[in-house]
């Protein structure tokens, strides 16, 4: 499971971005957070996740890959 650091949280809109070690940022939605929940995450916090570049309808994400199963390390 990849690990990264939360780069940006947009709490009022319910999403954020994770910085990966290769420098590419990955989008995540608050519904993708497990265990602690979205409200307990902070910028700079280490997390692990799975990459899922398809949205629930089966289409590829318009803006690239997104993280699912996001949880603090």
The pLDDT value recorded for residue 41 is: 95
Residue range 7-61, pLDDT digits in tens? 999 999 999 999 998 888 999 999 999 987 899 999 999 999 999 866 555 545 5
Beta-carbon contacts of residue 26 (< 8 Å; ≥ 6 apart): 4, 17, 18, 20, 49, 51, 64, 65, 66, 67
Number of domains in the chain: 1
C-alpha–C-alpha distance, residues 39 and 44, integer Å: 14
User: pLDDT: is 65 or 11 the higher one?
Assistant: 11
The pLDDT value recorded for residue 22 is: 85
The pLDDT value recorded for residue 1 is: 85
- Supply the range of the domain harboring residue 22: 3-72
Of the candidates 71, 28, 31, the one whose C-alpha atom is nearest the C-alpha of residue 51 is 28
CATH number at residue 54: 2.40.50.140
Beta-carbon contacts of residue 57 (< 8 Å; ≥ 6 apart): none
């Amino acid at each position: 499971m990849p690990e990264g650091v939360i780069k940006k949280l947009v709490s009022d809109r319910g999403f954020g971005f994770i910085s990966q070690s290769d420098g590419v940022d990955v989008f995540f939605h608050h519904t993708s957070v497990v265990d602690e929940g979205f409200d307990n995450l902070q910028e700079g916090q280490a997390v692990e996740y799975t990459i899922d570049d398809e949205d629930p309808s089966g289409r590829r994400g318009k803006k690239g890959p997104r993280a699912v199963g996001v949880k603090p390390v």
